[in-house]
Amino acid sequence: MREGRDPVYGRVRFAVLEFLGYFGIESSEHFADYVPWFIKCDRSDLIE
């Protein structure tokens, strides 16, 4: 992340780390279920 590379495998966890300063222990796929900023009901393209 510091090198400017996009960590695809943990995109949600790294975004939360960047904004809140905490690294989530859940996988990004599971953590996104709890955070409405990442998966929206009318944007199925975001899930991929």
Residue 18 belongs to some domain of the structure:
yes
Q: Is 22 inside a domain boundary?
A: yes
1: in domain: no
Cα distance between residue 46 and residue 48, in whole Å: 5
Q: Is residue 23 part of a domain?
A: yes
Note whether residue 41 is domain-resident.
Answer: yes
Q: Residue 28 is part of which domain span?
A: 8-46
The tens digit of pLDDT for each residue in 7-45 reads 777 788 888 888 888 887 777 777 777 777 777 777 767
Residue 36 domain-assigned (yes or no)? yes
User: What pTM was estimated for this model as a whole?
Assistant: 0.56
The answer as to whether 2 is a domain residue is no
Supply the pLDDT for residue 28.
Answer: 72
Half-sphere exposure at residue 48, Cβ-oriented, CA atoms within 13 angstroms: 3
- Under 8 Å between Cβ of 1 and 18: yes
- Alpha helix segments (H runs only) across the chain: 11-20, 28-34
